[in-house]
Amino acid sequence: MPDRAAGHAVIVEGAEAPGRFVLVCEHASNHFPARWGDLGLDAAARAAHIAWDPGALGLAQGLAAHLDAVLVRATTSRVIYDLNRPPHAPGAMPVRSEIYDIPGNHALPATERRARTEALYLPFHAALDAQIARRLAQGIAPVLVTVHSFTPVFNGVARAVELGVIHDADPRYAKAIAAEARAQTGLNVQINAPYSAADGVTHTLARHATPIGLPHVMLELRNDLIATPAAQQAMATQLAPLLRAALTRTEETP
């Protein structure tokens, strides 16, 4: 059973999993708890990519199974709090996302920003801290992989990239994954696309991997490639060995 810690703000699957990989899915859910309501979004907006990363959770769970990994995942829509942003970032509680206005986030009082931060951001990152720290204490060297998806068309422009491989300060593991993925798959693979650390999208990596020098990557899959459970599992089966091979390559290179 997953551990629904801290009032359901986060779920940890496989807390005692023996592998080195620590998987994270900050945008796993488009659930809108009653406490916050629907923020004025209609059903179509709540199902769209602005509310979550469609397909990312199934992919992350598939990767976790292949890699004997723990998975730390969100339970609540990113438009209530985007767990991959610090509390002062405009994108943490966005008033607008792509073509969608988010009425329930307009003119948020400081008390409400603080309440969401305490209810969602802090427990999520504390749970992730705990998973990493436990492994470090026990002599296991963690590898941090965050799993995301992106929309094929953004602001009316089609995106050619299919697998984006994004890094924070240390590019080595991301570059090794890109090299493996280009050699082993037919995917259009790009580093730091469709966005990069300069866009403020690597907060989880910057908080948890960079300060202690962990190998890290943010995987971004175009969501049309992982639209069904079968496609998510197939992608996990394809990517898991690449993640292992790239780690070996990274750690063998002086």
Q: Which stretch binds a copy of itself (CB under 8 A): 8-16, 32-40, 47-55, 121-129?
A: 121-129
Return the ∠ at Cα 142 (arms to 138 and 143), rounded to 5°: 170
Place of tokens 């890109």: 178
Q: Output the smallest distance, CB 88 to a copy of itself, in A.
A: 4
User: Among 46, 49, 116, 222, which residue sits at the site for a copy of itself (rule: CB under 8 A)?
Assistant: 116
Got the DSSP string for the chain?
--EEEGGGTEEEE-TT--SSEEEEETT------TTTTTTT--HHHHHSTTTS-TTHHHHHHHHHHHHT-EEEEE-S-TTT--TTS-TTSGGGS-SEETTEE-GGGTT--HHHHHHHIIIIIHHHHHHHHHHHHHHHHTT---EEEEEEEE-SEETTEE---SEEEE-SS--HHHHHHHHHHHHH----EEET-S--GGGT--HHHHHHTGGGT--EEEEEEEGGGG-SHHHHHHHHHHHHHHHHHHHHHHHH--
Q: Output the smallest distance, CB 28 to a copy of itself, in A.
A: 21
Q: Does 20 bind a copy of itself (CB under 8 A)?
A: no
Q: Output the smallest distance, CB 114 to a copy of itself, in A.
A: 4
Site for a copy of itself, residues 165 to 204, rule: CB under 8 A: 203
Q: Does 87 bind a copy of itself (CB under 8 A)?
A: yes
Q: Which stretch binds a copy of itself (CB under 8 A): 17-25, 107-115, 151-159, 244-252?
A: 107-115
Q: Which stretch binds a copy of itself (CB under 8 A): 40-48, 152-160, 182-190, 206-214?
A: 206-214
Residue 104 vs 152, nearer CB to a copy of itself: 104
Q: Output the smallest distance, CB 216 to a copy of itself, in A.
A: 12
Q: Does 130 bind a copy of itself (CB under 8 A)?
A: yes
User: Among 211, 252, 253, 254, which residue sits at the site for a copy of itself (rule: CB under 8 A)?
Assistant: 211
CB–CB of 13/1 below 8 Å? no
Residue 207 vs 249, nearer CB to a copy of itself: 207
Count of residues touching a copy of itself (by CB under 8 A): 29
Residues of this chain that bind a copy of itself (CB under 8 A): 86-88, 110-111, 113-114, 116-118, 121-122, 125-126, 129-130, 133-134, 136-139, 141, 203, 206-207, 210-212
